[in-house]
């Protein structure tokens, strides 16, 4: 049991506060002999890094990751490999500007974890939100980058599909567009609309929510497990652990409530290559908690950040009624930078289940799929 | 790590198949000296029991629970108490009619776990869905009934708020109505509409999805924990583990994506009794993964059951294309009986976090809430 | 986390009290498609069963095990197979004679868990020791019997090597003798001596300690893991969890303290078959927490049972000084029946690590043992 | 599940190799508001630090620890306090001299983990033993120093009681002597003898084993738990995880095998202060896996290090027979520096169980110790 770890065979523990000297994570259970160097991780981190556009926080953090353990290379080896021992990753905090936060020491921002941390622990590192800061999520991205290197062929990606009530047009979905705008938006028309929309919100001192869709392709059949290790359950857990997430959907999600049994059940035909073909994917690639071989599809909804420049009614730490304005640097839409975070969580959940499945079932399955 | 357990300090492991001799669970970590007898559990089980109306499966299962361990009473004691050791609960399977299922031995029902179990394990107990049957959830309700006895004052309840696209009118919400109709519906007008609606679906051989809302009142402030033990995360995990659930929302859920920061952040005033008053509850009672003292509110969406009498295209176990019709007894709307199941999961998650919080933080918190 | 479970991928939870209606266990994570029927388990249980000689408790328990879940056979299958879902095992308690224990309700037996259970839980099922009874260990033997069926070629066995200060002569060690006497003694001469010795102890109302040696042959190289999952560590944990065990040794054990580096280090030569040959086995088959391919060898020391007919000074539950005599049926030497228990724990630890190793390392290892 | 973590509510994960840039650990679950600064940890680390006498390795490591997260102090606070979030500790590796180890790249030292790491992972960081190096244990000492600050009154200490076959005279036991010699020896006469003895061994290029005794005083009654969370079991696990440990004893340990029931059972009288007085402590303070309130006493035996300058027969990585001599810097008796390590493990196990007990049982116990 751990408050700051997730995964089972591939297990990640993160540590660090927004304004401490550094943040980091330790990955336990990584298979050995995986080629891994810091630059493999850095490219994913750069996608999440703050300050890359005017639509994210202006905090300047290079987020340079270092690998402190768990890899090895000597002059007989062509590349650096994992050794099977814990991989410790660290990122120094650089641009902290702690003075920005001195006034929230005395007050609780509405909608923020300030209040509950103080109630729970009787103490709170208020600088930049301390442990509750989304800065922690950098380490998820780092761990996810490691996870992605392990399962051959697995392809995990995500996109922002809604900001506020402005949804993309799915008929315009183009994965190549995702890297062409500051929103990870697959719809180039909507990306332009969002630009104007977010500029207005940003200048007004407000913030706005968003919805992300993540997809994993080439997922092995048979990973996940009943009953309390369902693949959708563990994915829901991983996604709901991301700061600001308030809703998670697998496949058709909430809409499945409105469907009839015959509309919902994904029918199957046999493909020319002897592999089953599903005629739809309402299940999001998971049946009974186990992967079917279809793409895993999930959506997650993020609330707007509660750190805004507009005044809100709240209490101070003595219980006096006050009005709170947050003047630090914040993302007007935390959903944007959550795209690579959600991808990382999906990759880790899948890898963890691949390893668990190898442990329990790899051999029996190889022995044949019909009873003796 | 376990595929069939959940919870940490209050830990529940379930076992059993739909058509085996019995189902059961073992509760580990229950505090000692809690008054507990089988009838305390039975009343919750009776709410979930099949065959109580024409809108649920006609399988007749009395679901009589027996306590096999973990409690004690001698003639000096006024009541039976828990001893702190594992509580083993068992329910015999009575009405199995296995012959109904003999034909699905050879085929995969579309949208069902038949396919994935076979692919994963290379073997499948196809009778009644085996381990993938919702019959397993009886033990969740049993464990939840134990959990409810432990945290004084905590009040957990739920209601069905949508079947298909027919939503209740929240202005008519009346908790007393929930026990007056076969749907756990808090809106008496909608309950009548659903009756006709479901009769049509049932007779057509189809099925339909639904949405449940669950609420916990009098939740202690400060339970839950960052970062990977967030209360909303573990609740999402627990709810997504329920058969057929495809979406989970905490507080405003998906709608939070459409809100601005000032709309979403629940503002706070000071009550006459010195306790904070929140002016709204968009957060669903959880901030930063920790309970704020407001009611916990969550929604879960269930897909329609995939076991229907209407034909669907699929494969048999040899890979031949077939048409499948399911003739066994099934719920036309599995969402109905999931109401007590969701309540149970919520109760267990909350209790588990109450115990975890006692372990780590009970003493420091008592020592005062401000830094030394 | 669980107080009543052990193992990780192959995970066993036990439940039940000495004088409750039944005892049982649930095995989670068992690979699918393993041939398993109740009689496979029964033969191991019969070795541990009480009442088979005058040197064990005279309680008469047939210890008939039933499998309630996790296996499947239909008329197309030649044998019953595991399905990969939880295997629930149950044994009814038959010969309870609870009246024997009525007087210890009020007193604490010296050296017994009576005192600590009462202090911890504020309540105690005193009948036959309740949960602290060695009756729980029947389920370890049952789970161990399942574990033994999974790793092909693995051979786990044990023997009693010392009762009181009477040690066997290792030059007379003969595995075939172990089943020929009531002590699991590999030395036929010592077995006769023990018979007389134990008769004296039994008649005097006293009890005596013992030492067991367990060995696993054909252990795969490379199972176990640094740093907190060392094979010797988890074996020490498993053995120390057996009632009455006070000491555990791996390989040379305590004697290793007296050795010099050159005496202790097991030297290696290359065998004609290309497999390494170790010239000694001081390490007990484990180097750095990982199996070397040599036999795993461990010793465990058990204290004498504290339930004796000779009077001992103690307190009653009100704190009054009393003299306690235990009149129930007890083993004069609990070490005897602990032999199959220790074997079972060893089998489970090894299997669990085989599965964990498959999960993390099976593939990289196959790819070759030298860096790229 | 994790290969590199231990503890449950107070959970420690370590990382790092002997010759990587740094080693570290993360402590999860530490209660908040504990006064903690780096110097609190440093004093314990200095006890384990290499190079402080000629009887330990001459590697020069200042072992300066830094706290990277989980503590907080601002100018309103008199001292730095824990916040309840993960505490990340790091020590830079300074004196690595990797060239010493270049030749063992090609060979397996007899009795060393070289062989098994290579077989398991297919790769090995051979510099200084990599992850298998006792350097990892510095982080145990660091985590133990944190643990010791939390349970008021608890007193954990240890001593070396045997080197080779030279045992201390217990009648001369004086705790004050432990800090007066380089061996943590409580017997000043034996300390002098060991000095000569170890000088001989050191100069000969050999090494020697040892036995440590650790004791915890003022342990709360009622911590620990049946059946697989026994206090003695978890202590055995923690101690056996220390490099080179081959045997663990609780209380009388192996000698308990030779005792009769009446000799072994610790009898109880009532003290003048209303607290029970045990007339002996054969149980080592633990009955049925739960603390009795007596001192916890355990012994652990360490084998001699396998890194010696005397030649041993072994294989190289190609399978050729070779003779191996280890020329790096090593402890002639690893048992010496293991004293603070064993103390730390004991402190962590006890604290973890104190927190677990608070979670499950603090309230019921307060409600009274007799049935209702």
Cα–Cα distance list, C196 to B131, C306, D18 (Å): 54, 21, 56
| Average pLDDT of span C176-183 | 96
DSSP assignment string, D229-281 = B-HHHHHHHHHHTSTTEEEEEETTGGGGGG-BHHHHS--EEE-TTSSEEES--
Best to test chain D binding among B79, B85, B371 (most D CBs inside 10 Å)? B371
| Three-state secondary-structure class, residue A259 | coil
Q: Which of C225, D349, D142 is nearest to A86 (CA)?
A: C225
Q: For chain A, which chains pass the contact test of at least 3 CB pairs under 8 Å?
A: B, C, D
B137 neighbors B48 (Cβ within 8 angstroms): yes
| CA pair distance C202, C250, nearest whole angstrom | 31
Nearest to A371 among C77, C360, C361 (CB): C77
| Average pLDDT of span A156-182 | 97
| Average pLDDT of span A319-323 | 94
Lay out the sheet containing A11-16: strands in order across. Answer: A5-6, A11-16, A22-28, A87-92, A65-67
- pLDDT for B371 equals 46
Residue A1 has pLDDT above 90, yes or no: no
- Contact of B69 with chain D, judged by CB distance below 8 Å, is answered with no
| CA pair distance A275, A277, nearest whole angstrom | 7
| Selected residues 160-219 of chain D with any CB under 8 Å from a CB in chain C | 162-165, 201, 206-211
- Contact of B62 with chain C, judged by CB distance below 8 Å, is answered with no
**Residue C4 C-alpha, separation from nearest chain A C-alpha, in angstroms:** 15
- pLDDT for A263 equals 96
DSSP assignment string, C273-328 = TSSEEES--TTTTEETTEE-SSPEEEEEEEPPPS--SS-EEEEBTTS-EEEE---S
Q: Where does the pLDDT of residue C151 fall: very low under 50, low under 70, confident under 90, or very high at 90 and above?
A: confident
DSSP tag of D164: T
Q: Is D359–B9 a contact, with Cβ atoms under 8 angstroms apart? A: yes
| CA pair distance A302, B292, nearest whole angstrom | 19
Q: Is D119–C369 a contact, with Cβ atoms under 8 angstroms apart? A: yes
Q: For chain B, which chains pass the contact test of at least 3 CB pairs under 8 Å?
A: A, C, D
| Average pLDDT of span B117-123 | 94
| Average pLDDT of span C352-371 | 77
**Residue C360 C-alpha, separation from nearest chain D C-alpha, in angstroms:** 9
**Residue C165 C-alpha, separation from nearest chain B C-alpha, in angstroms:** 36
pLDDT tens digits, one per residue of D35-64: 999 999 999 999 988 777 888 777 777 899
| CA pair distance A265, C72, nearest whole angstrom | 27
**Residue B90 C-alpha, separation from nearest chain C C-alpha, in angstroms:** 10
pLDDT tens digits, one per residue of A122-155: 999 999 889 999 999 999 999 999 999 998 899 9
Task: Give the chain D residue nearest B35 (alpha carbons).
Answer: D372
Which position has the higher pLDDT, D341 or B58?
A: D341
Q: Give contacts of C66 with chain B, Cβ < 8 Å.
A: 21
- pLDDT for B366 equals 65
Residue with tokens 């010239």: C279
How many other C-beta atoms lie within 10 A of the C-beta of residue B218? 12
How many other C-beta atoms lie within 10 A of the C-beta of residue C203? 10
**Residue C12 C-alpha, separation from nearest chain A C-alpha, in angstroms:** 15
Q: Which of A65, A63, A70 is nearest to A88 (CA)?
A: A70
- pLDDT for C306 equals 86
**Residue D260 C-alpha, separation from nearest chain B C-alpha, in angstroms:** 30
CA angle D21, D6, D113 (to 5 degrees): 60
Best to test chain A binding among B104, B109, B111, B270 (most A CBs inside 10 Å)? B111
- pLDDT for A102 equals 66
Q: Is C83–B121 a contact, with Cβ atoms under 8 angstroms apart? A: yes
Q: Which of B124, B112, B144 is nearest to B19 (CA)?
A: B124
Q: Give contacts of D121 with chain A, Cβ < 8 Å.
A: 32-33, 83-84
Q: Is D74–A130 a contact, with Cβ atoms under 8 angstroms apart? A: no
| CA pair distance B329, B312, nearest whole angstrom | 17
Q: Is D31–B364 a contact, with Cβ atoms under 8 angstroms apart? A: yes
> Which contacts qualify for B172-178: CB closer than 8 Å, 24 or more apart?
none
Q: Where does the pLDDT of residue C100 fall: very low under 50, low under 70, confident under 90, or very high at 90 and above?
A: low
- pLDDT for C61 equals 79
- Contact of C270 with chain A, judged by CB distance below 8 Å, is answered with no
Question: Does this complex have an ipTM over 0.90?
Answer: yes
- pLDDT for B104 equals 81
Strand ranges for B321-371 from DSSP E: 321-324
pLDDT tens digits, one per residue of B330-367: 789 999 999 999 999 999 999 999 999 999 987 767 66
- Contact of B359 with chain D, judged by CB distance below 8 Å, is answered with yes
- pLDDT for D97 equals 61
**Residue A343 C-alpha, separation from nearest chain B C-alpha, in angstroms:** 17
Which position has the higher pLDDT, B302 or B362?
A: B302
Q: Is A130–D9 a contact, with Cβ atoms under 8 angstroms apart? A: no
**Of the given ranges (A185-194, A359-368, B244-253, D256-265), which has the lowest mean pLDDT?**
A359-368
Please give the interface size between A and B, counted as residue pairs whose CB atoms are below 8 Å apart: 402
Q: Is A356–C359 a contact, with Cβ atoms under 8 angstroms apart? A: yes
Q: Give contacts of D274 with chain C, Cβ < 8 Å.
A: 319
Residue A117 has pLDDT above 70, yes or no: yes
Q: Where does the pLDDT of residue B372 fall: very low under 50, low under 70, confident under 90, or very high at 90 and above?
A: very low
> Which contacts qualify for D327-331: CB closer than 8 Å, 24 or more apart?
D327/D100, D327/D103, D328/D97, D328/D100, D328/D101, D328/D104, D328/D128, D329/D57, D329/D58, D329/D59, D329/D97, D329/D100, D330/D57, D330/D207, D330/D305, D331/D50, D331/D55, D331/D56, D331/D57, D331/D134, D331/D207, D331/D305
Residues whose CB falls within 8 Å of the CB of residue D203, separated by 6 or more in sequence, listed in order: none
Task: Give the chain B residue nearest A106 (alpha carbons).
Answer: B370
pLDDT tens digits, one per residue of D138-162: 999 999 999 999 988 999 999 999 9
Q: Give contacts of A319 with chain B, Cβ < 8 Å.
A: 270, 274, 276
- pLDDT for B33 equals 94
Helix ranges, D99-230 (H)? 114-121, 137-148, 188-204
Residue with tokens 């040892």: D210
Residue with tokens 């498959």: C358
Please give the interface size between A and C, counted as residue pairs whose CB atoms are below 8 Å apart: 81
- pLDDT for D50 equals 74
Q: Pairing between strand A210-217 and A155-163? A: antiparallel
Tally the residues of chain A: 372
Q: Which of D271, D276, D163 is nearest to D213 (CA)?
A: D163
Q: Give contacts of A290 with chain B, Cβ < 8 Å.
A: 113, 116-117, 119-120
D100 neighbors D327 (Cβ within 8 angstroms): yes
Q: Give contacts of B1 with chain C, Cβ < 8 Å.
A: 8-9, 11, 29
**Residue C127 C-alpha, separation from nearest chain B C-alpha, in angstroms:** 10
| CA pair distance C233, D65, nearest whole angstrom | 27
- Contact of A115 with chain B, judged by CB distance below 8 Å, is answered with yes
DSSP tag of B315: E
| Three-state secondary-structure class, residue B353 | helix
**Residue A190 C-alpha, separation from nearest chain D C-alpha, in angstroms:** 40
| CA pair distance D334, D164, nearest whole angstrom | 12
Residue D268 has pLDDT above 60, yes or no: yes
- pLDDT for D99 equals 63
**Residue A160 C-alpha, separation from nearest chain B C-alpha, in angstroms:** 11
Q: Is A31–C360 a contact, with Cβ atoms under 8 angstroms apart? A: yes
| Average pLDDT of span B287-316 | 95
Which position has the higher pLDDT, C65 or D100?
A: C65
Which position has the higher pLDDT, A55 or D127?
A: D127
Which position has the higher pLDDT, D286 or D60?
A: D286
Half-sphere exposure of A231 (CA within 13 A, CB side): 39
| Average pLDDT of span D95-103 | 65
| Average pLDDT of span C156-183 | 97
- Ramachandran assignment for D7, one of left (phi > 0), alpha (psi -120 to 50 degrees), beta (any other): left
Task: Give the chain D residue nearest B357 (alpha carbons).
Answer: D359
Helix-strand-coil split of chain D, %, nearest 5? 35, 25, 45
Q: Which residues of B324-362 are buried (b: 16+ CB within 10 A; e: fewer)?
A: bebebbbbbbbbbbbbbbbbbbbbbbbbbbbbbbbbbbb
| Selected residues 20-59 of chain A with any CB under 8 Å from a CB in chain B | none
Q: Is C35–A355 a contact, with Cβ atoms under 8 angstroms apart? A: no
Q: Which residues of B293-312 are buried (b: 16+ CB within 10 A; e: fewer)?
A: bbbbbbbbbbbbbbbbbeeb
Q: Give contacts of C32 with chain B, Cβ < 8 Å.
A: 120-123
| Average pLDDT of span D213-232 | 96
Give the N- to C-terminal CA distance of chain A in Å, as an integer.
39
D66 neighbors D38 (Cβ within 8 angstroms): yes
How many other C-beta atoms lie within 10 A of the C-beta of residue A313? 14
- Contact of D372 with chain B, judged by CB distance below 8 Å, is answered with yes
**Residue C78 C-alpha, separation from nearest chain A C-alpha, in angstroms:** 6
Q: Where does the pLDDT of residue A253 fall: very low under 50, low under 70, confident under 90, or very high at 90 and above?
A: very high
Half-sphere exposure of D254 (CA within 13 A, CB side): 20
pLDDT tens digits, one per residue of C262-294: 999 999 999 999 999 999 999 999 999 999 999
Q: Where does the pLDDT of residue A366 fall: very low under 50, low under 70, confident under 90, or very high at 90 and above?
A: low
**Residue A180: both structure tokens together:** 């062409």
Residue A365 has pLDDT above 90, yes or no: no
Nearest to A85 among D2, D5, D17 (CB): D17
Helix axes C38-48, C338-366, angle to 10 degrees: 130
Nearest to C120 among D256, D290, D315 (CB): D290
| CA pair distance A14, A3, nearest whole angstrom | 10
Computed from CA positions of residues B110, B114, B117, B122, in that sequence, does the dihedral angle turn out positive or negative?
negative
**pLDDT > 70 fraction of chain B, expressed in percent and rounded:** 95
pLDDT tens digits, one per residue of C289-312: 999 999 999 999 999 998 888 999
**Residue B217: both structure tokens together:** 């009142």
Nearest to C88 among B16, B33, B70 (CB): B16
| CA pair distance D190, D209, nearest whole angstrom | 16
| Average pLDDT of span A95-114 | 79
- pLDDT for D292 equals 97
DSSP assignment string, D358-370 = HHHHHHHHHT-SS
Helix-strand-coil split of chain C, %, nearest 5? 35, 25, 45
């Amino acid at each position: 049991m751990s408050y700051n770890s997730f995964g089972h065979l591939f297990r990640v523990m993160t540590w660090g506060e927004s304004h401490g000297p550094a943040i980091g994570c330790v990955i336990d259970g990584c298979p050995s002999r995986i080629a891994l160097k810091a630059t493999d991780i850095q490219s994913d981190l750069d996608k999440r890094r703050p300050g890359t556009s005017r639509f994210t926080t202006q905090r300047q953090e290079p987020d340079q990751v270092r690998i402190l353990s768990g890899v090895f290379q000597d002059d007989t080896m062509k590349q650096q490999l994992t050794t099977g021992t814990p991989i410790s990753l660290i990122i120094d905090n650089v641009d902290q500007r702690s003075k920005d936060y001195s006034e929230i020491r005395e007050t609780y921002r509405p909608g923020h974890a300030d209040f509950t941390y103080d109630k729970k622990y009787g103490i709170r590192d208020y600088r930049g939100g301390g442990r509750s800061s989304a800065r922690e999520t950098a380490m998820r991205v780092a761990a996810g980058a490691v996870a992605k290197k392990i399962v051959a062929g697995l392809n995990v990606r995500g996109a922002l599909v809604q900001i506020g009530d402005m949804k993309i047009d799915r008929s315009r979905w183009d994965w190549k567009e995702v890297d062409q705008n500051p929103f990870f938006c697959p719809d180039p028309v909507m990306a332009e609309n969002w630009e104007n929309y977010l500029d207005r919100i940003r200048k007004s001192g407000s913030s706005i929510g968003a919805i992300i869709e993540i997809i994993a392709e080439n997922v092995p059949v048979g990973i996940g497990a009943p009953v309390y290790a369902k693949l959708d359950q563990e994915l829901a857990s991983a996604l709901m652990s991301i700061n600001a997430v308030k809703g998670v959907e697998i496949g058709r999600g909430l809409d499945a409530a409105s469907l009839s049994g015959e509309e919902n059940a994904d029918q199957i035909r046999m493909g020319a290559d002897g592999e089953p073909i599903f005629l739809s994917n309402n299940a999001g690639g998971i049946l009974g908690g186990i992967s079917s071989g279809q793409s895993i599809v999930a959506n997650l909804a993020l609330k707007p950040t509660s750190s805004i420049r507009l005044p809100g009614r709240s209490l101070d730490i003595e219980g006096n009624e006050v009005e709170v304005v947050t003047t630090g640097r914040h993302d007007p839409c935390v959903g944007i930078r959550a795209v690579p975070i959600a991808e990382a969580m999906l990759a880790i959940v899948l890898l963890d289940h691949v390893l668990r499945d190898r442990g329990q079932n790899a051999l029996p399955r190889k022995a044949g799929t019909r009873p003796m």
